[in-house]
């Protein structure tokens, strides 16, 4: 009966033919789309006209006015702002930047994300001198204090952030930093929260999407508290890739939200575009953060290819901060930032958020600005420890939650239940687990005084001693020469006179040099004089017999026969001269870099060297 029913419902030949033609037409259209030729060298061609623009900076001295009237020990205090500026000026960084005027955001700009009621409530506090009433209103929100200047300064912080991002996007500056307060990443659509009133970064990001017409933004939030406000604004929007790295401890740390865990990955069209990296213990340091960037942030960023990167830059994961209780050293922030600076055409906006240890905050923020200006990443004083087991679990959990959305996260294979039950021992099988403990129920009124975390005096002293040591030992080198190079046409003399068109030919380095000239790179680099390596220098890697053999063989008539005795080698009467010239020129560049006279160098030399063995020529 089933067979006959199927036969009775068989479509007509005409219908089948129509479907066949429709399918064929669709395939043809797809083929036409697939045949569009993509120029893989387009980025390289575009780079010819790209010149690194200045670094922008925006701040306003009036931002120091915002303070807590009823608690002089409140951690979000004016010195957070003034100390950062002082350290930047001490390192002579601000004078190297292009100053962007601060401005207040308009109401329409704030309403891109916040409700009108939210805006008007804060507006009503402007200039109010009723301290008791202001404290009462503050108690209705979690971790908030209000000051007569709060409304105006919140507008100033938001407007300044918008203008920084607009200047970067339109090409007036290459990158930049907004040294602002109040911070913003906890502010929600209709709720003040966590020292934040208007969400500076989120509003500026929405402005970039709506007004500047960008379509792919990346926000990296390395503040130690989860930026739940920013997350909520873009949770279903694939145009914004959001990364938050935050202390969590299974929800026992503020803001105590389940949505801060690794499995909150976005919704709707935004599935896979929200990354939470919860830190489930304290005292995590450079090695842990390096692992997060290497295993998650950078691979996903490379795959996503954002047009603009915004850093919600809190420094409360830095050593000494009583709120974070982490141990990221100030000099490590440049290493995190530099790993992103090759993306988005180096269009990066750093926006100040939290950070409550004035020493590590000011140092970390200043070194971040120094990195934007092109400063070298400082050599780290302390060795980097491997990531902790707790952090490794978090990374694997994040990979599991996101692997179906990102090709770069599909490296680790999945295991089956059979493998789980039968393979013993199981050191490489990660078991994904989720634990939420949470915090205390929210009170009807939030505390407004004595809210700062208490740290034992001996711990504070220990942290300050370590910070001082790190600051003293960290060398902030500033070589006068950014890039040096060596090249000389004498190295073109080495050639294969027995085989026309041999791949290791003089044109290799001539064409490389000409391309440098074409891109006007030689105008921006310092050319070093070439030199011949001494025999003693060459003998650092080779035997003296080998050096003498190459020197003598160049005088023989049977060059072809001698070359055929070795793997992929030919000889020329000038081989020894060119080889010693190449080696000496490389040492010339290495000397300049190691002595700090140049930041980096390029060696356009031949013959090459990395296949040569201690006592045998090999591989050209």
* Residues 499 and 451 reside in one and the same domain: no
Q: Is residue 619 part of a domain?
A: no
* Residues 468 and 586 reside in one and the same domain: no
* Residues 96 and 159 reside in one and the same domain: yes
Over residues 199-228, the pLDDT tens digits come to 999 999 999 999 999 999 999 999 999 999
Assess contact for 579 and 550: CB atoms under 8 A.
yes
Quote the mean pLDDT of the chain: 93
Q: Please tell me the predicted confidence (pLDDT) of residue 399.
A: 98
Strands (E), 225-330: 240-247, 274-279, 308-313
* Residues 542 and 401 reside in one and the same domain: no
Q: Is residue 235 part of a domain?
A: yes
Alpha-carbon distance 596 to 593, whole Å?
Answer: 5
Alpha-carbon distance 549 to 532, whole Å?
Answer: 17
Q: Please tell me the predicted confidence (pLDDT) of residue 1.
A: 32
* Residues 91 and 131 reside in one and the same domain: yes
Supply the CATH number for residue 293's domain: 3.40.800.20
- What values do phi and psi take at 321, rounded to 5? -75, 125
| Residue 6 confidence class, pLDDT cut points 50, 70, 90 | very low
Long-range contacts of 132-140, Cβ-Cβ distance < 8 Å, separation of 24 or more? 134/69, 135/69, 135/70, 135/448, 138/446, 138/448, 139/445, 139/446, 139/447, 139/448, 140/445, 140/446
| Residue 44 confidence class, pLDDT cut points 50, 70, 90 | confident
Residue predicted with more confidence, 39 or 183: 183
Q: Please tell me the predicted confidence (pLDDT) of residue 364.
A: 99
Assess contact for 105 and 196: CB atoms under 8 A.
no
In SS3 terms, 384-437 reads as CCCCCHHHHHHHHHHHHHHCCCCHHHCCCCCCCHHHHHHCCCCCCCCCCCCCCC
Assess contact for 203 and 112: CB atoms under 8 A.
yes
Q: How many CB atoms lie within 10 A of CB 473?
A: 13
Q: Please tell me the predicted confidence (pLDDT) of residue 370.
A: 98
Q: Please tell me the predicted confidence (pLDDT) of residue 438.
A: 93
* Residues 452 and 541 reside in one and the same domain: no
Q: Please tell me the predicted confidence (pLDDT) of residue 17.
A: 66
| Residue 5 confidence class, pLDDT cut points 50, 70, 90 | very low
| Residue 303 confidence class, pLDDT cut points 50, 70, 90 | very high
Alpha-carbon distance 318 to 260, whole Å?
Answer: 20
416 has pLDDT over 90: no
Residues written for the chain: 620
* Residues 465 and 526 reside in one and the same domain: no
Domain span holding position 106? 55-422+445-472
Alpha-carbon distance 59 to 153, whole Å?
Answer: 11
425 has pLDDT over 80: no
- Please choose, from the candidates 308, 304, 60, 123, the residue with its C-alpha nearest in 3D space to the C-alpha of residue 206: 308
11 has pLDDT over 60: no
Q: Please tell me the predicted confidence (pLDDT) of residue 162.
A: 99
Which token pair is 147? 């000051």
Assess contact for 67 and 77: CB atoms under 8 A.
yes
What integer is the mean pLDDT of 71-84?
A: 97
Q: Is residue 494 part of a domain?
A: yes
| Neighbour-count burial of 123, counting CB atoms closer than 10 A to its CB (0-12 exposed, 13-18 middle, 19+ buried) | middle
- Please choose, from the candidates 176, 169, 181, 217, the residue with its C-alpha nearest in 3D space to the C-alpha of residue 74: 181
What integer is the mean pLDDT of 246-267?
A: 98
Helices vs. strands in the chain: H and E counts, helices first? 22, 11
Over residues 139-162, the pLDDT tens digits come to 999 999 999 999 999 999 999 999
- Please choose, from the candidates 19, 31, 51, 612, the residue with its C-alpha nearest in 3D space to the C-alpha of residue 374: 51
| Cα 565-571-574 angle, rounded to 5 deg | 160
Alpha-carbon distance 340 to 334, whole Å?
Answer: 10
Q: Is residue 436 part of a domain?
A: no
Q: How far is CA 104 from each of CA 194, 224, 491, 604, rounded to the nearest angstrom?
A: 21, 27, 61, 52
* Residues 452 and 535 reside in one and the same domain: no
Q: Please tell me the predicted confidence (pLDDT) of residue 9.
A: 44
Q: Please tell me the predicted confidence (pLDDT) of residue 426.
A: 67
Q: Is residue 96 part of a domain?
A: yes
Which token pair is 588? 């010339």
| Cα 474-476-478 angle, rounded to 5 deg | 160
- What values do phi and psi take at 206, rounded to 5? -65, -35
Strands (E), 153-307: 175-178, 217-221, 240-247, 274-279
Alpha-carbon distance 575 to 414, whole Å?
Answer: 54
Q: How far apart, in Å, do the first and last CA atoms of the chain sit?
A: 77
Q: Please tell me the predicted confidence (pLDDT) of residue 49.
A: 81
* Residues 453 and 574 reside in one and the same domain: no
User: Going by C-beta distance under 8 Å and a sequence separation of 6 or more, which residues neighbour residue 216?
Assistant: 239, 241, 304, 305, 306, 307, 308
Among 42-46, 352-356, 452-456, 554-558, the least confident range: 554-558
| Residue 34 confidence class, pLDDT cut points 50, 70, 90 | low
278 has pLDDT over 60: yes
* Residues 513 and 536 reside in one and the same domain: yes
Q: Is residue 155 part of a domain?
A: yes
Q: Is residue 35 part of a domain?
A: no
* Residues 375 and 493 reside in one and the same domain: no
* Residues 492 and 459 reside in one and the same domain: no
Q: Are strands 98-99 and 308-313 parallel, antiparallel or unpaired?
A: unpaired
The count of structural domains within the chain is 2
Catalytic residues: 186, 611
Strands (E), 450-513: 481-486
Q: Is residue 404 part of a domain?
A: yes
- What values do phi and psi take at 274, rounded to 5? -120, 115
């Amino acid at each position: 009966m089933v067979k006959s029913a199927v036969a009775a419902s068989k479509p007509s030949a005409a219908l089948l033919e129509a479907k066949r033609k429709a399918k064929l037409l669709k395939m043809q259209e797809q083929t036409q789309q697939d045949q569009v030729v993509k120029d893989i060298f387009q980025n390289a061609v575009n780079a010819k006209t790209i010149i690194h623009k200045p670094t922008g900076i925006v701040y306003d001295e009036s931002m120091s006015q915002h303070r807590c009237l009823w608690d002089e020990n409140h951690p979000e205090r004016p010195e957070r702002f003034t100390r950062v500026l002082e350290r930047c000026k001490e390192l002579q960084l601000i004078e190297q930047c292009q100053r962007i005027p601060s401005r207040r955001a308009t109401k329409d700009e704030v309403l891109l994300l916040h409700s009108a009621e939210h805006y008007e409530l804060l507006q009503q506090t402007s200039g109010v001198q009723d301290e008791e009433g202001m404290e009462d209103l503050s108690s209705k929100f979690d971790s908030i204090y209000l000051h007569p200047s709060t409304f105006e300064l919140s507008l100033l912080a938001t407007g300044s952030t918008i203008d920084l991002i607009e200047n970067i996007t339109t090409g007036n500056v290459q990158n930049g930093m907004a040294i602002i307060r109040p911070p913003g990443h906890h502010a929600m659509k209709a709720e003040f929260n966590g020292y934040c009133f208007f969400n500076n970064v989120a509003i500026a990001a929405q402005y970039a999407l709506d007004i500047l017409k960008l379509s792919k933004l990346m926000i990296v939030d390395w503040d130690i508290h989860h930026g739940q406000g920013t997350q909520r604004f873009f949770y279903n929007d694939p145009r914004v890739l959001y990364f938050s790295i935050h202390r969590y401890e299974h929800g026992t740390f503020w803001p105590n939200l389940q949505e801060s865990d690794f499995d909150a990955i976005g919704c709707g069209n935004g599935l896979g575009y929200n990354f939470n990296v919860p830190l489930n213990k304290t005292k995590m340091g450079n090695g842990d953060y390096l692992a997060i960037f290497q295993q998650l942030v950078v691979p996903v960023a490379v795959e996503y290819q954002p047009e603009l990167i915004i850093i919600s830059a809190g420094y409360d994961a830095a050593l000494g901060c009583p709120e974070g209780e982490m141990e990221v050293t100030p000099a490590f922030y440049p290493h995190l930032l530099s790993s992103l600076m090759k993306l988005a055409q180096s269009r990066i906006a750093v926006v100040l958020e939290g950070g409550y240890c004035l020493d590590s905050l000011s140092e970390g923020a200043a070194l971040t600005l120094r990195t934007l200006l092109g400063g070298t990443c400082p050599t780290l004083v302390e060795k980097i420890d491997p990531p902790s087991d707790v952090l490794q679990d978090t990374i694997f959990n994040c990979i599991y939650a996101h692997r179906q959305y990102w090709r770069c996260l599909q490296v680790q294979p999945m295991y089956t239940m059979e493998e789980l039950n039968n393979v013993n021992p199981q050191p490489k099988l990660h078991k994904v687990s989720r634990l939420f403990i949470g915090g205390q129920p929210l009170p009807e009124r939030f505390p407004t005084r004595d809210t700062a975390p208490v740290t034992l005096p001996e711990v504070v002293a220990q942290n300050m001693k370590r910070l001082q040591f790190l600051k003293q030992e960290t060398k902030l080198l500033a070589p006068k020469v950014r890039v040096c190079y060596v090249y000389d046409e004498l190295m073109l003399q080495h050639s294969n006179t027995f085989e026309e068109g041999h791949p290791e030919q003089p044109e290799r380095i001539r064409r490389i040099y000409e391309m440098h000239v074409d891109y006007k790179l030689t105008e921006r680099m310092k050319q070093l004089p070439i030199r011949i390596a001494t025999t003693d220098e060459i003998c650092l890697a080779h035997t003296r017999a080998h050096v003498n053999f190459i020197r003598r063989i160049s005088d023989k008539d049977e060059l072809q026969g001698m070359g055929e005795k070795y793997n992929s080698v030919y000889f020329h009467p000038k081989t020894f001269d060119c080889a010693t010239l190449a080696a000496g020129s490389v040492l010339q560049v290495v000397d300049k870099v190691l002595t700090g006279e140049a930041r980096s160098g390029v060696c356009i030399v031949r013959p090459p060297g990395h296949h040569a063995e201690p006592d045998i020529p090999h591989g050209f």
